[in-house]
Amino acid sequence: MPAVTYLEAARRALAEEMRRDPDIWAVGEDLGRGGVFGQYRGLIEEFGPERIIDAPISENCILGSSVGAAMLGARPVVEMRFADFALCAIDELVNQAAKARYMFGGQTRVPLVVREPVGLWKSAAAQHSQSLEAWYVHIPGLVVVMPATPADNAGLLKAAIRCDDPVVYMEHKDLWGLEGEVPEEIAPIPLGTARLARAGRDLTIVTWSAMVHGAMEAAETLAGDGIEAEILDLRTLWPWDRETVFESVRRTRRVLIVQEAVRVGGFGAEIAASLAEELHGELVAPIRRLGAPRIPVPYSPPLEKQVRVSAGRIAETARSLLRA
């Protein structure tokens, strides 16, 4: 399998889906010139401006019109450029797209993909660096996906496009250039299935998105100390793969949950609570969580570094679990 970047993998997947189904189209700001990060480069030449649609700078207009189109049978892919900008269209997503199927008694669906680039990225500062996945997991009716690898960014995007419910699809900006093997024939990856990124016996690290790579680096360090960490990449936060997580934690009896988002109220707390409710008597150490402090993301590179959940912090927290 050839090495492909995270960005190019998703671009290929979108192009293949658009060739397969003429009801799929993409809309957002600057798509005609390839998108802010190049995710749509070359697509307007193949599909034309009727399917790669440049929109004015109005996120609520972009998403609101797409929700209406989806209810009438189209399958739009909506580019929000940054997850932070999607907040301008929160009503259209949370109060309209997420609820339409329920409120109309199943007479309509909203097969919509909202791409929201997330995460810390090159001093992007407080308004361009947020990871807000927990907000969307809280909303009934939304599917939430956060791919960590090029292969997953291709397969999960295909699955998201084919899903009949609205999907919040959160790609990490710091992974755009990450290279990895991607099959020539990209198959959809079922939503709600975690990926075993590394097998281990001593503790389970549950994580997603860019933190998968920090956890893998930490696991290499821990292996030098004779500690074998099992790493689960959730891939989909809603639905999340409870069965795989519970099976792993039952076996290792220790768990560390790692997220880049602010620790307070993050999705890691939901996983921790679920494990505590059902596996408390089987664990040999307290459940631990790592996440960012509850502060705006600084612009200053040294301060931003303090906010990041590093591989070193992951490794040290894992060691403390083993000591417990």
pLDDT tens-digit map of 205-251: 999 999 999 999 999 999 999 999 999 999 999 999 999 999 999 99
Percent share of the chain, pLDDT over 90: 95
Q: Are 145 and 154 in contact (CB under 8 A)?
A: no
pLDDT tens readout for residues 276-310: 999 989 999 999 999 999 999 999 999 999 999 99
Query: Sorting pLDDT into bands at 50, 70 and 90, what band is 268?
Result: very high
Catalytic-residue membership of 172 = no
Going from N- to C-terminal start, the domains of the chain cover 3-181, 195-323
- Are 269 and 261 in contact by the 8 Å Cβ rule? The answer is no
Q: With 0-12 CB in 10 A as exposed, 13-18 as middle and 19+ as buried, what is 266? A: buried
Q: What is the pLDDT of residues 95-125, one digit of tens each?
A: 999 999 999 999 999 999 999 999 998 888 8
Find all residues with CB under 8 Å of 173, minimum gap 6, and list them: 37, 82, 117, 118, 119, 121, 124
Residue 150 pLDDT level (bands cut at 50, 70, 90) = very high
Encode pLDDT of 189-218 as tens digits.
999 999 999 999 999 999 999 999 999 999
Domain 195-323 has CATH 3.40.50.920: yes
Residue pair 174/120 in contact by the 8 Å Cβ criterion: yes
Mean pLDDT of 299-322: 94
Instruction: Report the chain's C-alpha Rg in angstroms.
Output: 20
The number of beta carbons lying within 10 Å of the beta carbon of residue 308 is: 15
Question: Is the pLDDT at 324 greater than 80, yes or no?
Answer: no
What's the predicted TM-score (pTM) here? 0.95
CB 234 within 8 A of CB 241: yes
Let me know if domain 3-181 sits in CATH 3.40.50.970.
yes
Which of 51, 53, 50 is CA-nearest to residue 24?
Answer: 51
Per-residue model confidence (pLDDT) at position 2: 77
Query: Which SS3 state, helix, strand or coil, does residue 11 take?
Result: helix
Contact assessment for residue 261 and residue 229, using Cβ atoms and an 8 Å cutoff? no
pLDDT band at 313 (very low <50, low <70, confident <90, very high): very high
Q: Helix, strand or coil for residue 163? A: coil
Nearest partner of 67 among 29, 85, 93, judged by Cα:
93
Measured on CA atoms in the order 206, 233, 133, 103, is the torsion positive or negative? negative
Q: What is the overall mean pLDDT for the chain? A: 96
| Residue-level pLDDT at 121 | 86
pLDDT-derived band at 181, boundaries 50, 70, 90: very high
